[in-house]
Amino acid sequence: MTFLKLFLVFAVACLGGKALAESPPVEPLVWEAPNQTNIAHIGDVSTQFTFSVRNISGSEVVIDNVKPSCGCTAAQLPSQPWHLRPKETAKFGALVDLRGKTGTLYKTIDVISTNAPKKLTLTIDIQPGTNTMAREMQDRIWGQQLAATDHQAVFKKTCVECHLVPAFGKSGAKLYKVACGICHEAQPRATMVPDLHALKTPIEPDYWWNWVAHGKVGTLMPGFAATEGGPLDDADIASLVKYLAKEFPRPVKSSTPEKDGKN
């Protein structure tokens, strides 16, 4: 091989290595459909989006939060921060408020992450039609749908007027009336809200405390503890738990399992 050929081979190898070194790194997250469009109709209270993502890297990726472009869009991560393991596929939902809106809406959601930021786009085409639903009913449905997306939503934005502020300074029966009865004693009561009077199954000793303080993700039940974003401190919760145990008696499971039927 001549000197010229050796020089050319060496040059190509160096340039190729430099190109590889300067090539942009592969993004760790692959979004199945980062830009979505929904068709809605006049009178629809909301529209739901689901974003699916896969971590294709060999390391955990952390999403700290998601930030919608406006207050009429609610997005809730499965956890915060959201940890995605290597090769894991997961999803989260977003809900857009359509009350009183017409035409085409454009929304965005910023995915906040140190090493995997992303901007997701949402487009809603609201078709012409006639809206015959009363605004009061629209508000009621929106509240239920929003709570299903973010069970702490009742303590945010305009919802605080009905679900947070009235609870301040109250305890026991009065606290139940404004904090719990607004949903559990509503007439008509939403089908997904349980009738506490009808529940008779045995419960764990800390049943009432856990439900009141922390709620349950995936249901409409929020966590009322201040640590969860609610209005109640430990003393408030204790007074409410005492009232619930008295007014809605349930058999309590034994904390110590029986042995061979002997005491």
How confident is the model over 209-223, as pLDDT tens digits? 999 999 887 677 888
Place of tokens 């060496």: 10
Residue 260 banded pLDDT, cuts 50, 70, 90 = very low
Predicted model pTM? 0.62
Q: For residue 215, is it left (φ>0), alpha (ψ between -120 and 50) or beta?
A: left
72, 93, 99, 131, 178 from 108: Cα distances, Å: 11, 13, 18, 26, 35
Place of tokens 């145990």: 245
- Decide if 75 contacts 40 (C-beta within 8 A): no
How confident is the model over 10-59, as pLDDT tens digits? 555 555 555 444 555 578 999 999 999 999 988 899 999 999 999 999 99
Mean pLDDT along residues 55-81: 91
Phi, psi dihedrals of residue 146, rounded to the nearest 5°: -65, -40
Pairing of strands 73-76, 89-97: antiparallel
CA distance 40 to 46: 8
Residue 259 carries which DSSP code? B
Phi, psi dihedrals of residue 233, rounded to the nearest 5°: -95, 180
- Decide if 95 contacts 48 (C-beta within 8 A): yes
Which pLDDT value is given to residue 43? 84
| Omega cis (within 30) before 81 | yes
Which pLDDT value is given to residue 263? 38
Which pLDDT value is given to residue 81? 92
Q: SS3 helix, strand, coil % of the chain, rounded to 5?
A: 35, 25, 40
CA distance 210 to 190: 22
- What is the architecture, at CATH level 2, of domain 29-129? Sandwich (2.60)
Which pLDDT value is given to residue 200? 87
What spatial distance separates the first Cα and last Cα of the chain, rounded to whole Å?
Answer: 94
Segments of the chain assigned to CATH 2.60.40.10: 29-129
| Omega cis (within 30) before 188 | yes
- Decide if 186 contacts 163 (C-beta within 8 A): no
